[in-house]
Structure 1
Amino acid sequence: MTFLFKRNPKNPPELIKALNEQVLKLDYNSDSNKKYQDECSRFLKQVKVILHGDDENEPQPDQISQLALEIYSTDCLYNLMVNLKKLDFDSRKDVVILFLTLLRRQIGSKSPTVEYILNQKPEILGLLIRGPESSEIGLICGQILRDCIKFESINKFVLHSSLFWNFFKYVQISIFEIATDAFITLHDLLTNHKKLVSEFLARNYDNFTSSINKLIQSNNYVTKRQSVKLLSELVLRRQNQAFLNQYFDDTNNLKLMMILLSDKLKNLQIEAFHIFKFFVAKPKKSQKVLDVLIKNKKNFIAFFDTFDIQSDSTTIDERDYVLGEIMKLPDIVRSE
């Protein structure tokens, strides 16, 4: 594939060496930065052709293998991520292609890039997690990270990192696109691998519940609704039983859903109902939860008598069931 390097012929290892050299020279404050950006762009395009071919040539497995080995041995992925903001827009897109192509590359049952990241350069994941802190590269980092966490081992690493909890702040960033993208990543982290997530939620009940409840109480409608929907999705998973047993015995959670049921926005009311119904339906309720339900029995009956659910018949049946169960609760005996 010598045609690739007419201006400066190089084999794949030499190409990665040259790319690294230019990446490490990038500097916003340098008059030569544009020249280094252009060189990085040129080398990244050559890398892309090796990985994917072009109109005239198919990618060659041996060259891809050489390229990948050199990228791992020189920490090229790390260097690219550290300096991602300094690259031009098109080069950033080429970095995404490079990263994701290597990530999906398998040799037998092994994923060399996954092993490299976890065993040699986990700092890459730290950079990706902190991506939303930069409006320039936040969306790119989110895209790459979501592909990374499709692998359970990486998802586990991120969940057990102290940086994971930053996502509960990132989803409240004032830049809508960044906040939305961060919530997509948070959602994927908590839903991609069911068994892994069930163990995480059970071990981190207090931190997670506190964090998600703060989002549910946000003044931002989008944040509030997305958070309730995420919680509702987790509640519906039987794998999360250990977490749910704690969640539905906690009166703070019940009171929060009661507040949402009285929200003026119908969508939030309905989302809250899909969580509230489990407090009522739980066969063995904690005494504290039962006390709250009994204390508010009349209010619940009045509310659900007029709770208009313009939805599927299943949701209407659930509303009627909840109302029926509430009516079965004992009345408060008032002393004379």
Structure 2
Amino acid sequence: MSFLFKRNPRTPQEVVRSLNEQISKIDLTNDNHKKYQDDCARFLKQMKVILNGDDETEPQPDQITLLAQEIYQTDCLYYLITNLSKLNFDSRKDVSILFSNLLRRKIGNQSPTVDYLINSKPEIIMLLIKGQVHHEIGLICGSIIRDCIKFEVINSLIIASKVFWNYFGYVQSDIFEVATDSFTTLHDLLTLHKKLVSEFLTSNYDQFNKNINQLIQSKNYVVKRQSVRLLSELVLTRTNQNFLNRYFDDTINLKVVMLLLSDKSKNLQIEGFHIFKFFIAKPKKSQKIMDILIKNKSNFIEFLEKFDLSSLNDSTIIDEKDYVWNEIKKLPEIERL
């Protein structure tokens, strides 16, 4: 922590204020922007040392408290995210580290940074979500968001917002890194906090179902496979029972899964089968579902005859295939006049 041992070292409050001042001066069209970027980088590194210490000195709790309080009071995090694209690459990484450190900071059972984000500046969360679509800052924004949603209250804030539905567009980005990172975030939002997500899926069944089915029918192979895997994970989560009761009574969903079974990709056929088996195993099927199953009985049998799973060396899925095959054979034949 060598900078603190200068004759007139900056206090934590001064470091934050100086950072805010330099951020406000960055203008990428100005010849001096490099100087201001370098100044921001220097102050961010000083903040990291206050939070984490260095080879010479351990972090001091009182200094950390002063730093954090000044960050909250001056809305430093807001200005950092607003101007994230103006910072150099290393500074953007330091912003992510700063967020991570502050999020982990606790006072008793309280998480001051989480309280600040929820109660004082929820705009920061919204800016981070929208930032994921921008190539130069998308991965940093995604990393910060995933740190944030480890806290259920922030996860709840996001999935209750209209901005949440942007992710179903982000995952279809032509920029591979943006699409992949966005899907990682979407997956975490829908799997980390089981009870919260269960209530969300029940309350937002129609909109979620429409969006996930659109992804499953994407022309992009990666999007299709990731979407089916996410859906499979939700299907296997017991707390999602209310959602599943509606999902497996919905003929639109059965038709989408049937398209997966007929896909040219063997991997997608297998992913589709893992969902299709639940339509078959459901004890009380709706009449509309039964009608589709009966109508397509011969097609299902033909598919299962060719559906070779021996290369997987997985006895479980082979047993499941046999079960599905037997159940389909039990379906009544269509009455022909």
Given the two structures, how large is their TM-score scaled by the length of structure 1? 0.98
Offset of 1:301 from its aligned partner? 1.2
The residue correspondences of 1:107-126 to structure 2 (distance < 5 A) are 107-126=107-126
In the alignment, which residue of structure 2 is the partner of 1:17?
Answer: 17
Offset from partner CA, 1:55-81 (integer Å, 9 cap, x none): 111100000000000000000001100
Percent of residue pairs bearing the same amino acid type:
69
Partner of residue 203, structure 1: 203
For residues 181 and 97 of structure 1, the distance between their equivalents in structure 2, rounded to whole angstroms, comes to 18
1:318 aligns with 2:320: yes
1:188 is paired with a residue of what secondary structure?
Answer: helix
Residue 93 (structure 1) shift: 1.1
The answer to whether the 8 Å contact 2:257/2:272 transfers is yes
Secondary structure at the aligned position of 1:28 is classed as: coil
> In 1, distance between residues paired with 2:216 and 2:280?
20
Q: Is the 8 A contact 1:129 1:141 kept in 2?
A: yes
2:249 equivalent to 1:249: yes
* Structure 2 Cα separation of the partners of residues 241 and 234 of structure 1: 10
- Deviation digits for residues 254-303 of structure 1 (CA, Å, limit 9, x no counterpart): 01111110111110000000000111111111110000000011111121
Aligned-partner SS, 2:283: coil
Query: Relative to structure 1, is the Cα distance of residues 254 and 130 closer, same or farther in structure 2, using a 3 angstrom cutoff?
Result: same
Match of 1:283 in 2: 283
1:128 is matched with 128
Q: How many residues align?
A: 335
In the alignment, does 2:68 pair up with 1:57?
Answer: no
Q: Residue type matched to 2:246 in 1?
A: Q
**Structure 1 match to 2:213:** 213
Q: Displacement, 1:4?
A: 3.0
Q: Secondary structure at the match of 1:45?
A: helix
CA distance in 1, matches of 2:298, 2:94: 62
Aligned-pair distance for 1:5? 6.7
Could you tell me how far apart the structure 2 residues matched to 1:268 and 1:189 are? 24
Gaps (5+ residues) in structure 1? none
Q: After the TM superposition, which parts of structure 1 deviate over 2 Å for at least 4 consecutive aligned residues?
A: 1-9
Alignment partners' CA distance in 1, 2:39 and 2:6: 14
Q: Which amino acid aligns with 2:146?
A: R
Deviation at 1:9, TM superposition (A): 2.6
Deviations 1:178-216 (A, max 9, x none): 100000000000000000000000110110010001001
Partner of 1:301: 301
CA contact (8 A) 1:2 1:10 kept: no
Letter matched to residue 325 of structure 2 = L
8 A Cα contact 2:104 2:111, kept in partner: yes
State the SS of the aligned residue for 2:132. Answer: helix
Letter in 1 for 2:159: L
Distance in 1 of aligned mates of 2:319 and 2:140: 44
Structure 2 counterpart of 1:32: 32
Match for residue 181 of structure 1? 181
Distance 2:256 2:115 in 1: 42
Distance between the aligned counterparts of 2:134 and 2:303, measured in 1? 45
Pair 1:7–1:132, CA change in 2 (3 A) = farther
Which amino acid is 1:331 matched to?
Answer: E
- One-letter code of the match for 1:279? F
Equivalent residues in 2 for 1:163-178 (5 A)?
163-178=163-178
Q: Is the 8 A contact 2:2 2:56 kept in 1?
A: no
Q: Which residue of 2 aligns with 1:191?
A: 191
The CA distance in 2 between the partners of 1:290 and 1:274, in whole Å, is 19
Q: How many angstroms does 1:238 deviate by? A: 1.2
Distance 1:6 1:41 in 2: 19
- Asked if 2 retains the 8 angstrom alpha-carbon contact of 1:294 and 1:329, the reply is yes
> Which runs of structure 2 are paired with 1:225-264 in the superposition (5 Å)?
225-264=225-264
* Structure 1 contact 232–275 (Cα < 8 Å) conserved: yes
Residue 3 of structure 1 deviates from its aligned partner by 3.6
